[in-house]
Structure 1
Amino acid sequence: MLWRHGQTTWNLERRFQGTTDIPLTETGVLQARRAARLLASLDPDAIIASDLSRAAATAAELAVLTGLEVTHDPGLRETYAGVWQGLTDAEIQERHAEQYAAWRRGEPVRRGGGELETEVAERTVPVVEQAVEKLEEGGLLVVASHGGAIRVTLGAMLGLDPQVWGALGGLANCNWSILGESRRGWRLLEHNAGSLPEPVLGDDS
């Protein structure tokens, strides 16, 4: 399970956060507490999180309820976006129009001189896979991270071409996506969810 952090002031202002360490708002803390109550009922076996405070604080709410220790890993940080960080969406479009348009088209772009999305996946996926390997069969791992980092992690783990990773819509604050292992590899079971998962009953279960 990949879980996005709660709300921050920069989320509200539509500023690109990247690796800038922006804390949760009061609303963000409440979002994390609400989500944690739901996720705790699934009896997770391990929690890992980005070391940026917004993700770490989100994970901490689940740790309080489960008694699990959170492992923090900088490999789960959001995409580093250089000079884009701290700018609003409108400012990025105005100052870096060509680069912004290329990114929106799904082209590989070092936004603001920062990381490629494939480079982000190259650091996030091993962290998740190594944590999964430590679980007993059927165990549940909760990964508290960031919207962009989660999207590229999902795309890479599902074996999707990087050009179509954008087809995976963004996650709302404190929503999550769930991957499950199958004979064919990873499957996307839930995406941008904010309620407990329901069993899949039918021909595609």
Structure 2
Amino acid sequence: MRRLILLRHGVTEWNQDRRFQGHEDVPLAPRGRQQAAAAAAHLAALRPSLLWASDLSRARETAGYVAAETGLVPVLDDRLREIDVGDYQGLTHDEARERFGPGPWDYADHGGESNADLAARVCAPVEEAAAALADGATGILAFHGHAIRMATIGFLGWPLEVVSTLGALDNCAWVELTDVPAGSSKSAWRLVAYNAVTPIS
């Protein structure tokens, strides 16, 4: 059985302010570093052999805690960045509602990406990571909440509209996907955990 862990980064001050981050390079808040350390200690027990991350600092820092626990060197990939929110970047949710009306919002209408564009972008590295895993191996990819939701849906071949039925991922929560043999000649990836998290005090 192969396993993929799609790990959201720890909390940032912009998360705490409910501010759209998109491609803005926002670092972890002190609480986010605590979350990342706790998640890393838990996930290291899975003995991962692969560690990839978005190149944005909040995901890169989160992967750094996993690296410290496992000895792995993170591979940075800008395809794992969060959705480009265009004109929403830097706005709080209240400011966005004042300027653009109630959601759901289509960022592609305001200089950003659509969900379809995001899914195509983030699915490619997830598929490459899966292909790079040996039998029985675990890979961890540290990136961003909405990007992980769309990557999960796209990787499993679900319709993109399913995203509205998936709740937002908590900071430093993860999605777990496993490759369960479905027959003698093929296998199928399955969702076995969503929004799993290591509690911290």
Does the TM-score normalized on the shorter chain lie above 0.5?
yes
1:141-194 deviations in Å (ceiling 9; x for gaps) = 101000010000011112221112121111111010101123363211000001
TM-score by length of 1: 0.88
Q: Which amino acid aligns with 1:142?
A: I
- Answering whether residue 174 of structure 2 is matched by residue 193 of structure 1, we say no
Long gaps (5+) in structure 1: 197-205
- Answering whether residue 49 of structure 2 is matched by residue 45 of structure 1, we say yes
- Paired residue secondary structure (1:188): strand
Q: Distance in 1 between matches of 2:127 and 2:25?
A: 25
- Answering whether residue 70 of structure 2 is matched by residue 70 of structure 1, we say no
Q: Is the 8 A contact 2:126 2:155 kept in 1?
A: no
Residue 172 of structure 1 corresponds to which residue in structure 2? Answer: 170
Q: 131, 134, 140: which is aligned to 1:133?
A: 131
Q: Is the 8 A contact 2:177 2:193 kept in 1?
A: yes
The sequence identity of aligned pairs, in percent, is 43
How far did residue 102 of structure 1 move?
4.6
- Paired residue secondary structure (1:101): coil
Q: Which moved more, 1:136-145 or 1:157-166?
A: 157-166
Long gaps (5+) in structure 2: none
- Answering whether residue 28 of structure 2 is matched by residue 28 of structure 1, we say no
Q: Distance in 2 between matches of 1:147 and 1:111?
A: 21
Q: Is the 8 A contact 2:10 2:58 kept in 1?
A: yes
Q: 89, 113, 119: which is aligned to 2:111?
A: 113
How far did residue 112 of structure 1 move?
2.9
- Paired residue secondary structure (1:165): helix
Q: Distance in 2 between matches of 1:111 and 1:195?
A: 37
Residue 18 of structure 2 corresponds to which residue in structure 1? Answer: 14
How far did residue 8 of structure 1 move?
0.3
Residue 99 of structure 2 corresponds to which residue in structure 1? Answer: 95
Query: Aligned residue pairs: how many?
Result: 190
Q: 148, 163, 180: which is aligned to 1:150?
A: 148
- Paired residue secondary structure (1:133): helix
- Paired residue secondary structure (2:46): coil
Q: Which amino acid aligns with 1:72?
A: L
- Paired residue secondary structure (1:41): helix
1:113-153 deviations in Å (ceiling 9; x for gaps) = 20011111111111011122111112101010000100000
TM-score by length of 2: 0.90
Q: CA RMSD in A?
A: 1.6
Distance 1:185 1:109, change over 3 A: farther
Distance 1:12 1:109, change over 3 A: closer
Q: Which has the higher contact order (CA 8 A, sep 6+)?
A: 2
1:21-52 deviations in Å (ceiling 9; x for gaps) = 00001111111001100000111111000000
